[in-house]
Amino acid sequence: MKRIALVGFGLLAGSIASALKQAKRPTVIRAVSSPATLARARELELADEFFEYAQVEEWSRDCDLILLCGPILHILKTIDALSHVKWAKDAAQSNGVAGKDCVAGSNGANSIDAKLNGAVCLVSDIGSTKVEICKAGSKLPVPFKFVGSHPMAGSEKRTCEYNDPAIFENAYWFVCPPEGTAESVYAPLLELVKFLGASAVVFPPEHHDRTMAWVSHMPQMLSSTLAASIPDRLLEHNYQHYAGRAFRDMTRIAASGWAMWHDIAVTNRDETVRALTEVRDGVNATIEAMQKLDVVKDGRPAGGSFDTTRGSVAGGKCADRSDSLEEIFKAGNEGRASLFAPGRNAAAAFFEITVPLKDKPGALLSVLQPLAEEGLNIRDIELMKVRENVAGTLLIAFKTEDEAARAVKLLRYLGYEVKER
């Protein structure tokens, strides 16, 4: 790839540029952004060429790949700007491409490449929804060809100075070409995905948005709703401060900013509402199962028996009528397990180990320092089940199985009870 234009030079664009620079790739990196961001990118030496958004006639020329890296509505605005560039229309007309054939997604697109002598430019994006973006992209004129994409990577940081060349490693990167598009058309994008260490998943745009509605967009709406629903009877006494890890985990993403989620909501409303409705049905079923229970009164089960196991009464039922709720919990166990079932994860998984920690000063350092001295690079870390005077559990992830095995051997030698996940 000779030249790539990264439009919207934030965290992810900066990370792509940084990875290309570190690898000393011969690719010319073109940064397109606001004046302040371009100045920062220049200071960090993340790009070779610098353009403001309005200079679309200039920055859209002579690129192998234009990657739109801004928010969703900005991506749509940029696609609209690309559809009106004068040089593209002039190039198409001078090569005998006119009328409806000028649209990259038209039926005449296969013959256009020959007329343009292969001078086509692939346009893609990193937006979190795909259907509306791909619809807009399909209307771009030749020599542009649009293939939507979405890397499942990011951070709470948004600007290019926080760039991380490894941010895409082991991440899914959805690629959503128009139906019938040859892989050779989006080969530059697949090459970039592979170079960055991500795993390409070729998906129709509709499947992408339906999936993201369930695994990303609906959970955000639920988390925000849960945090927003803390009742006054708790708030007026500050009782919410006693929330345990479960509630804190479930509301963590409720701290997300509105701007990004506004764009997601208005471009994937129907699928997200569908997912929320399905969860609402599940919540209603749980409420119904709870209402069926024979509850404890005056220290004794309402059903009269302390034996609540299945089959404790005729017909294989539970004495306290908890059968329905038990089935919901078992279904939940199975759903959770399915996330980690062998063969379910297409992307290369990290290799994880867990280490129990004592609740004392320096406990964390005593584990991490020997790993650093051994030259073992930690790719992810999480401190789990932390309570006062109770040992926490440290989860550590490594990129390779060999690194994880070396870590296990070292920490066991030091007396830790290490488990492999």
CATH code (residue 377): 3.30.70.260
Residue 97 pLDDT > 70: no
154-177 pLDDT, tens digit per residue, is 887 889 999 999 999 889 999 999
Query: What residues does 33 pair with on adjacent strands?
Result: 52
Q: Which long-range contacts (CB under 8 A, 24 or more apart) does 333-342 make?
A: none
Instruction: Measure Cα distances from 285 to 192, 288, 316 in Å.
Output: 46, 5, 21
Residue 148 and residue 223 share a domain = no
Q: How many domains does the chain have?
A: 4
Instruction: Measure Cα distances from 243 to 50, 61, 239 in Å.
Output: 48, 55, 8
Q: How confident is the model at residue 105 (pLDDT cuts 50, 70, 90)?
A: low
pLDDT (average), residues 97-116? 49
Residue 348 pLDDT > 80: no
Which pLDDT does position 391 carry in this prediction?
Answer: 59
Buried b (16+ CB within 10 A) or exposed e, 378-417: ebeeeeeeeeeeeebebebbbbeeebbebbbebbeeeebe
Q: How confident is the model at residue 112 (pLDDT cuts 50, 70, 90)?
A: very low
Which pLDDT does position 56 carry in this prediction?
Answer: 98
Q: How confident is the model at residue 295 (pLDDT cuts 50, 70, 90)?
A: confident
Which pLDDT does position 75 carry in this prediction?
Answer: 98
pLDDT (average), residues 278-296? 94
Residue 269 and residue 173 share a domain = no
Classify residue 30 by its DSSP letter: E
Pairing mode, strands 121-125 and 28-33: unpaired
Which pLDDT does position 106 carry in this prediction?
Answer: 46
Average pLDDT along the chain: 88
pLDDT (average), residues 130-155? 95
Which pLDDT does position 114 carry in this prediction?
Answer: 41
Instruction: Measure Cα distances from 143 to 105, 135, 185, 271, 355 in Å.
Output: 11, 17, 12, 33, 55
Residue 332 and residue 319 share a domain = yes
Which pLDDT does position 139 carry in this prediction?
Answer: 95
Amino acid symbol at 54:
A
Residue 173 tokens, joined: 């990167």
Can you give the CATH number for the domain in which 260 is found? 1.10.3660.10
Q: How confident is the model at residue 207 (pLDDT cuts 50, 70, 90)?
A: very high
Residue 69 pLDDT > 50: yes
Residue 390 pLDDT > 80: no
Which pLDDT does position 308 carry in this prediction?
Answer: 63
Global pTM value? 0.81
- Specify whether the CB–CB gap between 61 and 88 falls below 8 A: no
Residue 139 and residue 12 share a domain = yes
Residue 94 pLDDT > 70: yes
Which pLDDT does position 306 carry in this prediction?
Answer: 73
Residue 383 and residue 259 share a domain = no
CA distance 104 to 108: 8
Classify residue 371 by its DSSP letter: H
C-alpha of 305 from chain center: 49
CA distance 121 to 146: 9
Could you give the angle at the alpha carbon of 197 between the alpha carbons of 194 and 201, nearest 5°?
60
Could you give the angle at the alpha carbon of 183 between the alpha carbons of 171 and 263, nearest 5°?
50
Residue 182 and residue 86 share a domain = yes
Residue 359 and residue 231 share a domain = no
- Write phi, then psi, for 65 (nearest 5 degrees): -145, 130
- Specify whether the CB–CB gap between 9 and 69 falls below 8 A: yes
Residue 98 pLDDT > 60: no
| Burial grade of 61 (CB within 10 A; 0-12, 13-18, 19 or more) | middle
- Specify whether the CB–CB gap between 173 and 152 falls below 8 A: yes
Its domain, for residue 405, covers 351-420
Residue 21 and residue 74 share a domain = yes
| Burial grade of 229 (CB within 10 A; 0-12, 13-18, 19 or more) | exposed
Task: Write down which residue in 179, 203, 227 finishes a domain.
Answer: 203
Task: Write down which residue in 203, 235, 255 finishes a domain.
Answer: 203
Residue 256 and residue 178 share a domain = no
Pairing mode, strands 121-125 and 65-68: parallel
Query: 26 or 341, which is more confident?
Result: 26
Residue 222 and residue 176 share a domain = no
Q: How confident is the model at residue 388 (pLDDT cuts 50, 70, 90)?
A: very low
Residue 341 and residue 224 share a domain = no
Task: Write down which residue in 165, 185, 203 finishes a domain.
Answer: 203
Q: How confident is the model at residue 321 (pLDDT cuts 50, 70, 90)?
A: confident
Residue 125 and residue 61 share a domain = yes
Which pLDDT does position 303 carry in this prediction?
Answer: 66
